[in-house]
Structure 1
Amino acid sequence: MFYTFLLALVVSFGALAQGASEQAEVAQKGVEPGSTEGASVDGGADPAVIDAGAALFKNNCAVCHSAGSDVIVGPGLKGVTGRRSESWLISWIKNSQALIQSGDAEAVAVYNEYNKQAMPSFAFSDDEVRSILAYIDSEANTAAAVPTTVGGVEGAAPGQNVGTDAIGAVGGYLDIILVVLIVVLIVLVVTLLLITSLLKNYLNKNRQLDEYDAEVVNQRFDFSKIYKSKAVRTLVVLIFVVVLLDLTIDKVMGVGIQQGYQPKQPIAFSHKLHAGEHQINCNYCHTTVYESKSASIPSANICMNCHSQIQTQSPEIQKIYRAIERNEPIEWVRIHNLPDLAYFNHSQHTQVGGVECQTCHGPIQEMDVVYQYSPLTMGWCIDCHRETPLNTEGNQYYDNLVQLHEASSKGAFTVSSNGGTECSKCHY
């Protein structure tokens, strides 16, 4: 019986581990098990257009909007193409403030309904806006066909590393499996001991046993046989190896990842107050974010442009005054820190690529204390390069590359198509 149960445990463990792996793979791909990847989308939209729209939506829109019905900062966009005309949506997405100031009744109503939260303007072409709308429609059709979500994981927000979450899910499954395995073994041992004791008492009281049977029933149990048993030793070693493997995977997968890192700063500066409520442009304080390899840390003089007149008696503002009087720098604690082996250029992404701050830094305008929103892992960067289309319109440099790409591939011309996933791009 014991060996049968052990075999069942091993088989169950394998099945659960396989299920955990499948769930992690599903979470990483973002599709339902058994679904047909790359299936045609109702409405006849070109899959390449939808892919391009998905990348634009995730990199620019998903911080404030969902493609479904959920309200984040702005409204959920499910069915928006049925509620608004295409021309109105193009005008709104390109420059919502201009449409509001023109007195458009629908624009003013939306602006007022969502607490007068200004939506940033986007330098999209009409075709790029249409690709975003095609993606939103495709998401609505997909949700209607497949009403359930994968393990509670919905569309990834910009910067969210679903692959890393899937790895964490595997570790969580292994932890649960180990606990269940240990509990079941303990319950099994206790149950067997109780059954043995009950049978022994029953036989001694109700049966006339001969000398041999009485000796067998009343013999003392030799506990040394347990730890000398090959089966028990094998099981103990197996449990030890699985626990060690689980701990090792958790530690190794987390090396160098500081997602969620939120150190205390020397001055309690609130991005929620400045960038959110007062809508101060990021470029005002981080002056080189569009021009340099790195985004500059604002000097105390930039702070004093306002705070020489505003909130001058605040204890936190007084710290700035003391730093200026002593001619000492404010020792801000760095949060986003890539390893020296990786090359990253802010201006290449923000100025040339048109990437919004929230794509990597998350909803920075809602943070009282800034934290690392994205994992900033190599896999996370490569995923973005594979999904983000390049705007090649009006740039003759890309003409031949685009022609070669269209001749050999049906997908969008992305950063990866331009060599954005080559090792030497980031590792010189």
Structure 2
Amino acid sequence: MLALFLAVSAPAWAQQATVSKNGMTPGTAAAATPAAAAAPTGAQGAGGGDAAAIAAGDALFKNNCAQCHAVNDKVVGPALAGISKRRPISWIIPWVHNSSKVIASGDEYAVKLFNDNGKQQMPAFPQLSDKEITSIVAWVTSQEGGANQTAGGATAANAGAADGQTGAAAGAAAGGYTDMLLIVLVVVLIVLVVTLAIIANLMKDVLQGRKDLDGRDIEVLNQRFDWAGLYRSPVLRGIVGTVFALVLLYEGVQSVMAVGLTQGYQPTQPIAFSHKIHAGENQINCAYCHTSVYKAKSANIPSANICMNCHSQIKTESPEIKKIYRAIERKQPIQWVRVHNLPDLAYFNHSQHTQVGGIQCQTCHGPIQNMEVVYQYSALTMGWCINCHRETPLNTKGNAYYDNLVKLHDKSNNAVPFTVSSNGGTECSKCHY
């Protein structure tokens, strides 16, 4: 058994040793090196832009542009390769801020671009600064001639994500070795039990054939377990009755506590919208459709015109997309069924969590990018919120507002991290007032 244990677990130990020695999983260094090496080259290709600007442009492109544009292929809008050569940055910036205004000014290039793309109106992005738009152009320039970046290829900006996937794969492999080891141990134990039972029966047969046994030995050899006596035992009946009563009590309490909870709620929507296709496969950023997710108390439901930014040209014959056309023609909103609904007695600010707290969508909404039909992933109970406030450290770096609070906290609770609860996040008046 010891030899079998060592043989099965040796690969996992070797892999763990490699991780500990290098500080990364096998293959991570190889995967990260090309992306890291490509950053300076991309910086040169961007016409003087540095690696930081290109990395920032990568993130900005994925969050704002990838829904309609690719670098080397036409999607909804034209391919962006060569944009820095076709138009100066002084033209690109006002175009991104408000393309309708540029077209209305009579700019010949803008009018031709508008007509050549089926008079599809480009959304305005007034929130992007001149520096951010320049970073996007620098990143596009660095990617010209390469693979389509909307597929999420490895770049200097997402090399860390690729490394995380490699580490996750290594962890899954280690978990596979552990599962295999447990299966082997269970099989060995079953074999041992069966073997012992066979040996016991053989020994009993041998002893029954002997003639030199006295009466006491024969009595011990022929004795059988008294199952009827065990069944009639008041102690056993008391134990079984107590366990049964406790199980009933537990289930009753759980049923009462679950009254009003809607975790797992998954209503049928009027249009079969798939988050798996949009947020997962096509990597559309949540803020593109839910435009107020980072700046308002509530994350808004997208209007039909946001859908039409893409679906005026994509899958136009789909029966589900035609429902959007009918809603627009009738000037009626789409009657989406609300999934997440907090009671009116609780105050919740969405932007305070996403923008200030930096909370990712998946923290509360679960793996939304894998859901065909959205369902309520988290309990959204008061206890669930309080536990999060007690366990989530507060990012206070660079914010002078927290300096004295952190000092006072560390003076009396140095071993405990400064959490949302430390800042009063579990006081009743924070959510109920």
Q: TM-score with structure 2 length normalisation?
A: 0.48
Larger radius of gyration: 2
